């Protein structure tokens, strides 16, 4: 069996193209080498598959009564996938499961709307809805609003917004509203809203097969679903847990991720599975989940200790290196950003 790796990262970030051999890689493939097709379907085990669009991965489970798709990705990819499924299997897509509402994973579901029921977490459904004009800032956004005028000027904006402020400032008035800050992550191609929402856990059964949907709390977003294919021993973790790669932590979603993210990883680690299929990069194992937990705990502890010692943000970013994790992909790309993000989140939590 072979597995591709490498997908587009949200908002155009570029990953380092590295690979580390593991049991999972040996079994499911090392990743897409240069020159691989931009799209492909990869068999995992039994009737479970991944599909790849450059650097984005979704999944699907084939059953005698229909197909369950996880993350339609975008309209072009969904149309390609529908053609592939129609040619390979004589059953329609019956369910589309959304992992979360971000616009590099959720759009495209309309391609399956004539046969499929759409499922997502209740917060995912909420996040699809454009905020009303004049909607108040979310708590972390209000924390950035140092002048207290209810919007975010360029001098107040974190890097994720400051680096392309003019593009996000849709009305050109020199400040960002809640609606404008919502748009980069959630606005894109139309996304059919979930027909079914859940709060903590639900099970989808079709053709003698089941998929468990687990909500493990806030991590990359507040509406993330972790699908568990129990018989196949796989989970799907999209953006919040990528095996053998440092997480890309940002604070631009308008709420504090800590200590919630740590709790989410703990709850994921307690699920009954063997393999992790992320939304980017290669398949990993449960051991990779434990490594991510250690990294996150060590990162939080180190930043917290530096803050307690009275160090400035710049000093913390320079001094907290955690080189015991330098073997992970994107270490140099992400370590400083992650330290900066954790410092921001811890400061927000402490000052609330």
Tens digit of each residue's pLDDT (9 = 90 or more) over 130-167? 999 999 998 888 988 999 999 999 999 988 888 899 99
Q: Is residue 71 part of a domain?
A: yes
Q: Please say which residue of 273, 296, 319 terminates a domain.
A: 296
Average model confidence (pLDDT) across the chain: 89
Q: Could you tell me the residue range of the domain that residue 169 belongs to?
A: 133-183
The pLDDT of residue 251 is 74
Determine the average pLDDT of the residues in 92-115. Answer: 96
* Final residue before a domain boundary, out of 277, 296, 315: 296
pLDDT of residue 18: 25
**What is the predicted pLDDT for the residue at 254?**
57
Q: Is 103 helix (H, G, I), strand (E, B) or coil?
A: coil
226 and 284 inside one domain: yes
In a domain, 352, yes or no: no
pLDDT at 5: 34
What is the CATH classification number for the domain harbouring 56? 3.60.15.10
Q: What is the pLDDT of residues 59-82, one digit of tens each?
A: 999 999 999 999 999 999 999 999
pLDDT for the residue 253: 56
149 with 125, same domain: the answer is no
Does 173 fall in a domain? yes
Q: Reduced to 3 states, what is the DSSP secondary structure of residue 40? A: strand
Average pLDDT, integer, range 168-184: 94
Domain co-membership, 120 together with 77: yes
Which of 253, 272, 296 is the endpoint of a domain? 296
Quote the distance between the C-alpha of residue 153 and its chain's center: 27
- Looking at the structure of the chain, the number of domains it has is 2
Based on the domain organization, do 234 and 159 belong to the same domain? no
93 and 194 belong to one structural domain: yes
> Has residue 31 got a pLDDT over 60?
no
Could you give the 3-state DSSP secondary structure of residue 77? Answer: helix
Taking 50 as the threshold, does the pLDDT of residue 17 lie above it? no
Is residue 336 included in any domain, yes or no?
no
Q: How far apart are CA 189 and CA 75, in angstroms?
A: 7
pLDDT higher than threshold 70 for residue 210:
yes
Q: Is residue 301 part of a domain?
A: no
Report residue 177 as tokens: 């509203």
Query: Mean pLDDT throughout 333-345?
Result: 93
Asked whether 195 and 69 are in contact (CB, 8 A), the reply is: no
CATH number for 140: 1.10.238
148 falls within a domain: yes
Same domain flag for 173 and 123: no
Q: What does the alpha-carbon distance between residue 136 and residue 178 come to, in Å, rounded to a whole number?
A: 6
- Look up the pTM and report it: 0.88
User: Do 146 and 89 share a domain, yes or no?
Assistant: no
Question: Mean of the pLDDT values across residues 161-185?
Answer: 93
Q: Are residues 213 and 150 in the same domain?
A: no
Q: By mean pLDDT, which of 13-22, 24-33, 111-120, 217-226 is the weakest?
A: 13-22
Residue 317 lies in a domain: no
Residues 126 and 228 in one domain: yes
CA angle 251, 254, 256 (to 5 degrees): 60
State the average pLDDT over residues 323-347. Answer: 94
Whether residue 114 is contained in a domain is answered as yes
Helix/strand/coil for 343: helix
On whether both 75 and 220 belong to a single domain, the answer is yes
Q: Among candidates 36, 51, 41, 63, which has minimal Cα distance to 105?
A: 51
User: Do both 232 and 110 map to the same domain?
Assistant: yes
Same domain, 79 and 219: yes
């Amino acid at each position: 069996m072979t597995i591709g790796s490498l997908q587009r990262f949200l908002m155009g970030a570029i990953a380092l193209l590295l690979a580390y051999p593991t049991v999972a890689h040996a079994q499911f493939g090392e990743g897409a080498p240069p020159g691989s097709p931009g799209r492909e379907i990869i068999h995992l085990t039994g009737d479970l598959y991944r599909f790849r669009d450059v650097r984005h991965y979704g999944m699907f489970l084939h059953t005698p009564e229909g197909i369950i798709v996880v993350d339609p990705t975008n309209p072009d990819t969904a149309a390609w996938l529908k053609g592939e499924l129609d040619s390979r299997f004589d059953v329609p897509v019956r369910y589309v499961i959304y992992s979360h509402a971000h616009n590099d994973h959720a759009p495209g579901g309309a391609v399956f709307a004539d046969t499929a029921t759409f499922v997502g977490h209740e917060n995912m459904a909420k996040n699809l809805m454009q905020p009303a004009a004049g909607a108040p800032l979310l708590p972390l956004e209000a924390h950035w609003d140092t002048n207290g005028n209810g919007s975010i000027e360029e001098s107040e904006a974190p890097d994720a917004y400051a680096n392309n402020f003019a593009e996000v400032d849709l009305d050109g008035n020199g400040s960002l509203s809640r609606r404008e800050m919502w748009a980069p992550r959630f606005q894109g191609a139309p996304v059919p809203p979930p027909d079914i929402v859940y709060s903590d856990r639900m099970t989808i059964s079709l053709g003698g097969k089941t998929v468990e949907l687990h909500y493990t709390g806030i991590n990359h977003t507040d509406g993330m679903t972790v699908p568990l294919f129990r018989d196949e021993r796989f989970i799907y973790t999209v953006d919040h847990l990528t095996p053998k790669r440092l997480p890309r932590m940002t604070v631009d979603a308008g709420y504090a991720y800590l200590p919630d993210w740590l709790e989410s990883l703990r709850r994921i680690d307690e699920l009954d599975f063997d393999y992790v299929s992320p939304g980017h990069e290669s398949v990993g194992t449960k051991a990779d989940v434990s490594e991510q937990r250690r990294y996150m705990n060590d990162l939080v502890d180190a930043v917290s200790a530096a803050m307690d010692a009275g160090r400035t943000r710049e000093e913390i970013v320079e001094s907290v290196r955690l080189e015991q994790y330098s073997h992970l992909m994107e270490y140099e790309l992400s370590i400083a950003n992650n330290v900066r993000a954790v410092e921001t989140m811890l400061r927000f939590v402490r000052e609330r």
